[in-house]
Amino acid sequence: MSFFRPIGPIRLGIDIAMAVVLLAVAWYAALYSGGAEALIAVFMAAALAVRRLSPGLSLGIAWLGAIVQMSLGLPPLAVDFAIFGVLYVTAAYGSRLIMWIGLASTGVGAMTVAGYLIATTTTSPWYRPIDLLMDAVPTGLAALFGFGLSWTAGALVRALRRADDNSRAQERAESDAVAEHERGRIARDMHDVVAHSLAVVVAQANGARYAAKTDPQIATDALATISQTAGSALADVRVLLAQLRHREADGPQPTLADLDALFAQVRQAGVTLAVDIDPAPRGDVPAAVQLAVYRILQEALTNALRHGDGGTVDVRLAWHPGSVALAVDNAASASPLEPRGSQLEPRGILAEPRGPQLDRRGAHGDSRGEEGSRTTGHGIIGMRERAQLAGGTLEVEHADGRFAVRAQIPWKEEA
């Protein structure tokens, strides 16, 4: 721990200026009373000059000056008022040790003042012990009050400064938590947009590659779908990047009205959908619920597109009083994380490349690269977080060659 604390040049300059003024006044007065008082003025001026730079050193100099003053038999001087400022800074700016030493100095100093004054002013042989006590008690209490008040004022400033520091630290922590939450939300949105769009683009591109020689029209349609999907993904990514640049920006978010476009996009990728959706309830469905429903369906259909076996994907969306239930069920391989073959096998317009060279992301958000390594993604984790943020739950089941995602999200009509 450094003996000196950091202090701005302005504050240090103010303290030195106060010390110089005190020294000049005391030195002028000492011209008519003697050099001993000037010496005490030097001690007290030095204590004032370094009081905020080093409270401990300042307290030590003040005590040294007081001891010299008493040893010379000098009466109380005007420069002694500098002691109040020294006790203040020990509590306000000193370390914990210096703060408590300053508190002890208030008591010891008060008793010293009382004893010294009684000893130097009481010379009559007729003074009784009770008379000494009657003089010492009020003198000591007065000194203790003055010293204690200075130290207490410093302790109050110290407590206020600490409370302000704690408040600022809490604000920074809350700001960091909000920023972390926002980064997580944007990461989930980016994953939802990019994973879904790239899955469609990859499937269409491979399908077009196989269909180019036999049916150019199918290849042309596939390229049109790729262009549309990539353009939509680019627009969504631009919205997310705008949110990164402008923290208060709220770009347009998908709603229930966008589900038809989502289903059409998946069908264009060659996936057969069996969609059973209840009519939307009357009233306004909260935006958070609409976004959660859309993103969960988007991720579940992306998994079906990438890891399904080409069969029909069942989509169910049911509105109940106070909640909405959604389910996506499709046939899947024995393990969504395992490659499904070693050859490139066309499957209509999908013709999805299969094999160990393909980086696959499983339904649980895992992927395997060329070396079979697994890394955690945002798939199932993102869907669960979507449901939880809306106050709901999400379950995933993979059994008997089927993969199912089921979510239950509460909602109530917005006023």
By the 8 A CB rule, do 387 and 347 touch?
no
**pTM, 2 dp:** 0.44
Task: Report whether pLDDT(2) > 80.
Answer: no
Delimit the domains of the chain by residue range: 9-171, 177-410
Domain covering 177-410 assigned CATH 3.40.50.10320 in the classification: no
Task: Name the range with the highest mean pLDDT among 71-75, 217-221, 334-338.
Answer: 71-75
| Least confident stretch, 14-23, 160-169, 332-341 | 332-341
Task: Report whether pLDDT(334) > 70.
Answer: no
| pLDDT of res. 336 | 47
Calculate mean pLDDT across residues 353-375. 35
SS3 assignment for 155-211: HHHHHHHHHHHHHHHHHHHHHHHHHHHHHHHHHHHHHHHHHHHHHHHHHHHHHHHHH
Calculate mean pLDDT across residues 163-173. 86
Which of 336, 266, 279, 344 has the alpha carbon at shortest distance from 305?
A: 266
Calculate mean pLDDT across residues 397-408. 90
Burial of 68 per CB tally in 10 Å (0-12, 13-18, 19+): middle
> Residue 366 — pLDDT band, cuts 50, 70, 90?
very low
| pLDDT of res. 354 | 32
Calculate mean pLDDT across residues 151-159. 93
Mean pLDDT of the chain: 75
pLDDT digits (tens, 9 = 90+) for 95-144: 899 999 999 999 998 888 888 877 776 655 655 556 666 667 787 888 88
